[in-house]
């Protein structure tokens, strides 16, 4: 009889319960595929007496996840508690110190402590894996580390927060304002306990920082990321961008260029007919580009019980099969210190402004743009009967953010635009 792989699961929320269900229901399949039984020996959660819809009676119970992580009958510690520090980190460190392998879905913990934890795991000859931390059920870590192992990765992009994509697409289809849809998302239970993690771009930023580390062989650098959320996106921008052939997405982009490591998580316009532009509701999409493979597009559920548990089980099964892949695809000590790019790659921008309807107003704006070196690609003025200002949209040619900021300051000084113009980057995808 082959030795079983014994799991200790800390955290029995939606994902934890999903993992227990798969281990119980698919026991034969898992044993056949990995060559050994995969069993649960012990579990831990904040509350013991709660109906989670799964049988837990056969497993030992620990109130303290650190005690669970150290148990002699646990080979693999599955961390599904969440939170960058506190019990999740303490228990992960305890498991590693005890020489146990760890599988986690905790993006926040890895985005902040990934380098330290990966180094500790290697020193202890333990494996630390995190497929479920990025884009839920999409096997993107596996695709990057294994599938693209022969490529120099040139760019990683993605819509990796389902809640934000739900809000943006629901605003568009329902012709609704941000606040109304935010409330709706809250009622549907889509938002994290701290909603700024979602709408502020932080959750998606954590995920992008992890992908960038694998893609470019650099230490995780969440602090070096430029992050902007979707809170200021208006229905006007969504509809007018659409009218110009674009959709607005909370898009993460990471690339390593001569300027350094560029990591951005921000609202961007993407062509409406591109794969990213066609992404609806709470679905995630990750686009990987490599010098040999070209572009690979992965699409799927970014959250939820089944998809996230599926990703956890991918790591569990790898470990059951004896795979010892490094956390970020190469030894932690060989990851280089990233030099964050000070400026983003030039790009076209979408500008929207309320222009006063008087002679010469448009000419003043065009002059300011020209003086800043920003060239106009397309322009549209909407009908505005009975209104003192005309909504004007401009799509620029590729420009630097520096030149654009100079132009925006100049436009503010013209006195012919009400309020500040909206400027959103257009990403070439
Ligand atoms: N809150 C995330 C989302 C899922 O909406 O995609 C967990 O990372």
pLDDT tens string, the chain, 429 residues long: the values are: 589 999 999 999 999 999 999 999 999 999 999 999 999 999 999 999 999 999 999 999 999 999 999 999 999 999 999 999 999 999 999 999 999 999 999 999 999 999 999 999 999 999 999 999 999 999 999 999 999 999 999 999 999 999 999 999 999 999 999 999 999 999 999 999 999 999 999 999 999 999 999 999 999 999 999 999 999 999 999 999 999 999 999 999 999 999 999 999 999 999 999 999 999 999 999 999 999 999 999 999 999 999 999 999 999 999 999 999 999 999 999 999 999 998 899 999 999 999 999 999 999 999 999 999 999 999 999 887 788 899 999 999 999 999 999 999 999 999 999 999 999 999 999
> What is the crossing angle of helices 86-97 and 107-123, to 10°?
20
* Structural fold of domain 141-302+326-334: Dihydrodipicolinate Reductase; domain 2 (3.30.360)
Residues of the chain with CATH 3.30.70.260: 349-426
The pLDDT, as a whole number, for residue 384 is 79
CA-nearest residue for atom 2, ligand 1, is 161
So what's the pLDDT on residue 386? Answer: 80
Q: What is the structure's pLDDT at 1?
A: 58
Query: Does residue 162 line the site of ligand 1, with CB under 6 A?
Result: yes
CA distances from 208 to 132, 160, 222, 409 (A): 13, 8, 8, 31
Output DSSP code: residue 125: T
Question: How many angstroms is it from 105 CA to the middle of ligand 1?
Answer: 11
Closest residue by Cα to atom 4, ligand 1, is 303
Q: Active site includes 342?
A: no
Q: Whose CA is nearest to atom 7 of ligand 1?
A: 303
E strand intervals along 291-365: 294-301, 349-356
How far, CA to CA in Å, does 64 sit from each of 90, 196, 360, 378?
10, 29, 71, 61
CA distance 256 to 214: 12
Domain limits, CATH 3.40.50.720, in the chain: 5-104
Say if ligand 1 is within 6 A of residue 14 CB.
no
DSSP state of 131: G
Q: Which of 107, 207, 364, 406 is catalytic?
A: 207
pTM for the structure as a whole: 0.96
Measured from the CB, is residue 305 less than 6 Å from ligand 1? no
Query: CA torsion angle for 156, 157, 162, 164 (degrees, to 10)?
Result: 140
Give the number of other CB atoms < 10 A from CB of residue 189: 6
Domain with CATH 3.30.360.10 in the chain: 141-302+326-334
User: For 353, left (φ over 0), alpha (ψ -120 to 50), or beta?
Assistant: beta
What is the structure's pLDDT at 387? 85
The CATH architecture to which 349-426 belongs is: 2-Layer Sandwich (3.30)
CB 223 within 8 A of CB 113: no
Q: Is 198 in the pocket of ligand 1 (CB under 6 A)?
A: yes
Per the CATH hierarchy, to which homologous superfamily does domain 5-104 belong? Answer: NAD(P)-binding Rossmann-like Domain (3.40.50.720)
């Amino acid at each position: 009889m082959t030795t079983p792989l014994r799991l200790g699961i800390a955290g029995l929320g939606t994902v934890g319960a999903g993992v227990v269900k798969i281990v119980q229901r698919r026991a034969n399949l898992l044993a056949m595929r990995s060559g050994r039984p995969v069993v649960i020996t012990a579990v831990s959660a904040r509350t013991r007496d709660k109906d989670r819809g799964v049988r837990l009676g056969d497993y030992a119970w620990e109130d303290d996840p650190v005690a669970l992580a150290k148990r002699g009958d646990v080979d693999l510690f599955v961390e599904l508690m969440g939170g960058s520090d506190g019990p999740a980190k303490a228990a992960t460190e305890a498991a590693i110190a005890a020489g146990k392998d760890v599988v986690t879905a905790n993006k926040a913990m890895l985005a902040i402590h990934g380098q330290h934890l990966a180094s500790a795991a290697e020193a202890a000859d333990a494996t630390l894996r995190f497929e479920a931390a990025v884009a839920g059920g999409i096997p993107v870590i596996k695709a990057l580390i294994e599938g693209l192992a022969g490529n120099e990765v040139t760019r990683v992009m993605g819509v990796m927060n389902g809640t934000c994509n739900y809000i943006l697409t629901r605003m568009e289809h329902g012709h609704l304002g941000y606040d109304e849809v935010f409330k709706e998302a809250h009622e549907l239970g889509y938002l994290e306990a701290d909603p700024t993690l979602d709408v502020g771009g932080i959750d998606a930023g954590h995920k992008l920082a992890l992908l960038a580390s694998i893609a470019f062989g650099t230490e995780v650098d969440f602090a070096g990321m430029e992050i902007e959320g979707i809170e200021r996106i208006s229905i006007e921008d969504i509809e007018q961008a659409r009218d110009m052939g674009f959709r607005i997405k909370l898009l993460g982009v990471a690339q390593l260029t001569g300027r350094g490591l560029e990591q951005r998580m921000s609202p961007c316009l993407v062509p409406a007919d591109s794969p990213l532009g066609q992404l609806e509701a709470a679905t995630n999409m990750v686009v990987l580009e490599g010098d040999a493979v070209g572009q690979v597009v992965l699409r799927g559920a970014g959250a939820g019980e089944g998809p996230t548990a599926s990703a956890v089980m991918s790591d569990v099964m790898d470990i059951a099969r004896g795979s010892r892949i490094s956390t970020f695809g190469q030894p932690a000590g060989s990851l280089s210190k990233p030099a964050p790019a000070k400026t983003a790659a030039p790009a076209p921008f979408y500008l929207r402004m309320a222009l006063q309807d008087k002679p010469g107003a448009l000419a003043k704006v065009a002059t300011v743009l020209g003086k800043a070196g920003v060239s106009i690609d397309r322009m549209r003025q909407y009908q505005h009967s009975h209104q003192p200002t005309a909504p004007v949209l401009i799509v620029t040619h590729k420009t630097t953010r520096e030149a654009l900021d100079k132009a925006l300051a100049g436009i503010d000084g013209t006195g012919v635009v009400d309020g500040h113009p909206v400027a959103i980057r257009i990403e070439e995808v």
